[in-house]
Chain A
Amino acid sequence: MSVDQLLLCIALVGEIVVCGLVWKRRLWRILPFFATYTAWCFLSDGAGALLLQKYTNASTIYQKYYYTQLIVDAVLQFAVLGELAWSVLRPVRASLPRGARFALYGLIAMAGAAIWPLAAITVPSSITGVDATLFHVGETFAILRIVCFLVMASFSQLLSIGWRDRELQVATGLGLYSIVSLLVTVLHSHMAAGPDYDRLNQLLSASYAATVLYWLVSFATKEQERKEFSPQMQQLLVLMNVGARSTRIALSDLPPEPSSKRTK
């Protein structure tokens, strides 16, 4: 069994277990696109493995299948990114205008459109035709994922928005895979096809298998036990809230351009 086959087997077994855990832990309720994505990964990898038993990877049928699954994969990744970003905004959703979710997807699409011409610079001249387009798409998505994670991380740090455990686990896995894929894409753009090029592809496959195994272990673990939250603590929050509301009302009564001599 070759290294590629071994990594594919690990990924396939991991993917089916992750799909089961996503269902069992009801993760599909909070992250439906991610649940669809994990199911898609299992189905597409499984179908790819079956096709490779009948055809070579240079055959037309396999090539067509490969290109199609890459497109679906890219669309699902886009949906998962939007879903994660939206879940980060959960604490402030109430104050967001209607249609904010669609605007978020629009922003991600715009970021992708801005990255597209930049990514074109690094496509090696030795690659042409459909392969060049695929490389370009791969690189664009690798950068887009990183940019999205950077924005989400910095935004949540700035406003001190917390991430729920499951969302954090999904983001950690995707983030790790994204960084490795970006690194591999960067290195690929500086080398010609050969043994080293293939080894980097194996590194990417290994990072994907590691991501799936990380999700497997994370989702298999129950969420953190609830800590004691005493009635006093609840009362504390209620009291803080009541007073904060009155402060806000008082502030809203202030004139728009208060003078420095104003007293409250």
Chain B
Amino acid sequence: MFLLLQIAIVSALLLYFGKWRKSMRRRNVQSWDTLLCQLRSDWSARDLGDQFLWKEGLNATTDDIWQRLDGPRGLWAMFQNARVMLEMADYANRNAFPGAAQIDPMILETLRSDAMQIRLCVLMALGQYALSQATEGVKVNAYRAANIYSGMAARMTALLQDHAAVILPDFVAAM
């Protein structure tokens, strides 16, 4: 019985390892378009601000933001979209040509740091929410994550508007 349990654990480890390996490999070969498609489209952050996507910053209280986020659902969507942004940074790091204008490594570092900040804020908020529901601490963490998130989304919109207007409607719809 003990032997069977041990074999089951090792088999589960093998399965997890294979799945992780596959996801890492997929991540390393995906295209820019695939990355854009991974942004969550079933949840919209447009309620976060009156001019979400067009203006940076949030003009609301932590309570308001919590309601507009739709609680943990919105937090989770931001968590996943932050992952996509991190993968964008990795993509940039892998695919910038040495001869072309180099991306400042500090930019990538900061970008990663920001996206991780969103993920950590969301994780803290979700952890606190699981233990004590929507307390002030949960709402503050959610507010911080939403603030960074809305800023990134607004800047991306501005850029697409200037440089890639053709795909702007898709991006706006996805966000």
Contact present for B58 and A264 (CB under 8 Å):
yes
Task: Tell whether A264 pairs with B89 under 8 Å between CB atoms, given A179-B14, A227-B95, A258-B140.
Answer: no
Interface residues of B (CB under 8 A from A): 3, 6-7, 10, 13-14, 16-17, 20-21, 23-25, 27-29, 31-32, 56-63, 82-83, 85-92, 94-97, 100-101, 103, 107-117, 119-120, 123, 136, 139-140, 143-144, 147-148, 151-152, 154-156, 158-160, 163-164
Residues on A with C-beta less than 8 A from B82 are: 160
Residues on B with C-beta less than 8 A from A159 are: 86, 116, 119-120
Contact present for A179 and B107 (CB under 8 Å):
no
Interface SS, B side: helix
CA distance A264 to B163 in the complex (A): 30
Residues on A with C-beta less than 8 A from B147 are: 247, 250-251, 264
4 extra A-B contacts, CB within 8 A, seeds A186-B3, A264-B58: A149-B17, A226-B95, A229-B96, A260-B139
A228 in contact (CB, < 8 A):
yes
CA distance A203 to B133 in the complex (A): 52
Closest to B112 in A: A91
Contact present for B3 and A233 (CB under 8 Å):
no
Residues on B with C-beta less than 8 A from A153 are: 16-17, 20
Top 7 closest pairs, chain A to chain B, by CB: A160-B83, A244-B114, A229-B95, A243-B155, A232-B163, A162-B90, A247-B151
Contact present for B21 and A239 (CB under 8 Å):
no
Contact present for B13 and A262 (CB under 8 Å):
no
Closest to B140 in A: A258
Contact present for B87 and A162 (CB under 8 Å):
yes
Residues on B with C-beta less than 8 A from A246 are: 56, 151
Contact present for A227 and B25 (CB under 8 Å):
no
Of the residues A158, A175, A234, A263, contact of B92 by C-beta under 8 Å: A234
Min distance, Cβ A235 to any Cβ of chain B, angstroms: 6
| Residue with the highest number of chain B CB atoms closer than 10 Å, among A183, A237, A246 | A237
